[in-house]
């Protein structure tokens, strides 16, 4: 009898594929269990952990890690043990999108989106057909959460720009204002657009608008000279702390005596100024988080963060990362999903329940009390902080 080796091999291969599907492709196998029977719930973090913007990514990641450890130490949630998966985006949208795919392959069930707005936009686009709940700690550009399953924990840029203009008007900080910002950065542009509109409504005069880009953010002499000659009493700088530190250093060297007002991107400015912290004296910024607060959740978070990270005082971004995890936990509770009923549930069905729950929860976090609307936006109360003697104090 003639044996057809090719047919036998093909049959064995087909059988192997069928067996693999039965053992590895079923829904139950997508949910892993710990030795003590808890179902592992993987949450994905993506953000810059290296490079110029690493301070933001590290802060968000560290805040999230602290929350995960606290929750697991207290028994997890609804039979789940949380696990944080992380990836370095290097502040690149392309790398963030690739990282999202890798974390999906690694078993990610929920996503923290990206730390920066641009990378979050790419992650949301990559996640469009997956139905994964995305809750970003700090992506503030208006259009970066443009899908029904995407939410943010921070203020959006238009909110910050409008609040800043109103604060300058209400506190009578200035009648003539200059603006200095990175016109290639979505975060900065969004702030400036609404700030300019609101300032016009309030009668605040914009006497100079100066810009820079990521490739020209080393020498600000031309911009600062124009601001000095404009008669501005205050400069609105809705930019990141790294750029602000360089600007303030050069302004001090030019002996430019003027006030500065920024948004939440300035959180961490004191650290970025380093030995030149005096350059930041008097700078005002908007943020929902105040590390020296004596309020319950905020104080307990700060104490726990300092204990875990060698005395480092957390910034707003660390608090945002911490609050994201607790918001996800509240959504899990509200949705009624647990380690028993989730085993036979598709990942997309699990996420759809959590997405629906997001508009029904209220979270009392380190950054204040928060609720969410169906368009993914959060509502909470901002604070105005002022840098004095190398630390921040609440103004309002």
- The domains of the chain are located at 39-154+295-381, 158-287
pLDDT at 309: 98
Q: Are 297 and 364 in contact (CB under 8 A)?
A: yes
Per-residue pLDDT for 12 more than 50? Answer: no
Structure tokens belonging to residue 187: 């975060």
Residue 367: predicted pLDDT = 95
**pLDDT more than 70, % of the chain:** 92
Instruction: Give yes or no on whether 39-154+295-381 and 158-287 have one common fold.
Output: yes
Token pair of 39 as six digits: 């179902």
Percentage of residues in the chain having pLDDT higher than 90: 77
pLDDT of residue 231: 96
Query: What does pLDDT average to over the chain?
Result: 91
Residue 131 confidence (pLDDT) above 60: yes
Which range of 5-14, 74-83, 381-390 scores highest in mean pLDDT? It is 74-83
Confidence band for 258, pLDDT divided at 50, 70 and 90: very high
Which top CATH class is 39-154+295-381?
A: alpha beta
Question: For the domain 158-287, what is the CATH code?
Answer: 3.40.50.2300
pLDDT tens, position by position, 341-381:
998 899 999 999 999 999 999 999 999 999 999 999 999 88
How far is the C-alpha of 391 from the C-alpha of 277, rounded, in Å? 9
pLDDT score recorded for residue 6: 46
Q: Is the pLDDT of residue 136 over 80?
A: yes
Q: Kindly tell me if the per-residue pLDDT of 16 is higher than 50.
A: no
What confidence score (pLDDT) does residue 30 get? 81
Which of 166, 201, 160, 151 shows the shortest CA–CA distance to 181?
160
Q: What is the pLDDT of residues 22-78, one digit of tens each?
A: 333 433 348 899 988 899 999 999 999 999 899 999 999 999 999 999 999 999 999
pLDDT confidence of 294, banded at 50, 70, 90? confident
Interacting residues of 200 by C-beta distance below 8 A, sequence separation 6+? 206
């Amino acid at each position: 009898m003639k044996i057809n080796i090719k047919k036998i091999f093909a049959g064995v291969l087909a059988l192997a594929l069928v067996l693999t599907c039965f053992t590895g492709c079923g829904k139950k196998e997508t949910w892993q269990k710990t030795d003590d029977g808890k179902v592992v719930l993987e949450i994905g973090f993506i953000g810059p952990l290296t490079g110029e913007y690493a301070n933001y990514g590290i802060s968000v990641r560290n805040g999230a890690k602290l929350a995960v450890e606290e929750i697991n130490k207290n028994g997890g949630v609804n039979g789940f043990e949380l696990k944080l998966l992380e990836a370095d985006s290097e502040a690149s949208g392309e790398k963030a999108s690739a990282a999202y795919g890798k974390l999906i392959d690694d078993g990610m069930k929920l996503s923290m989106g990206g730390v920066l707005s641009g990378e979050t936009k790419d992650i949301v686009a990559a996640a469009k057909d997956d139905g994964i709940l995305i809750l970003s700690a700090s992506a503030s550009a208006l259009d970066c959460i443009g899908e029904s399953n995407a939410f943010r924990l921070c203020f959006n840029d238009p909110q910050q720009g409008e609040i800043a203009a109103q604060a300058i008007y209400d506190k009578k900080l200035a009648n003539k204002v200059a603006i200095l910002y990175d016109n290639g950065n979505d975060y900065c542009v969004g702030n400036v657009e609404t700030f300019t509109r609101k300032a016009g409504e309030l009668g605040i005069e914009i006497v100079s608008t100066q810009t820079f880009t990521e490739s020209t953010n080393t020498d600000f002499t031309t911009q600062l000279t124009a601001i000095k000659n404009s008669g501005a009493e205050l400069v609105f700088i809705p930019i990141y702390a790294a750029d602000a530190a360089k600007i303030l250093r050069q302004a001090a060297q030019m002996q430019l005596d003027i006030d500065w007002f920024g948004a939440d991107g300035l959180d961490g400015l004191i650290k970025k100024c380093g030995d030149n912290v005096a350059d930041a004296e008097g700078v005002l910024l908007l943020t929902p988080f105040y590390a020296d607060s004596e309020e319950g959740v905020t104080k307990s978070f700060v104490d726990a963060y300092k204990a875990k990270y060698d005395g480092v005082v957390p910034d707003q971004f660390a608090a945002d990362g911490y609050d994201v995890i607790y918001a996800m936990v509240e959504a899990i509770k509200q949705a009624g999903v647990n380690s028993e009923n989730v085993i036979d549930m598709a990942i997309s069905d699990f996420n759809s329940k959590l997405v629906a729950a997001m508009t029904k929860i209220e979270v009392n976090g380190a950054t204040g009390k928060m609720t969410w609307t169906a368009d993914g936006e959060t509502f909470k109360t901002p604070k105005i902080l002022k840098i004095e003697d190398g630390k921040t104090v609440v103004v309002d």
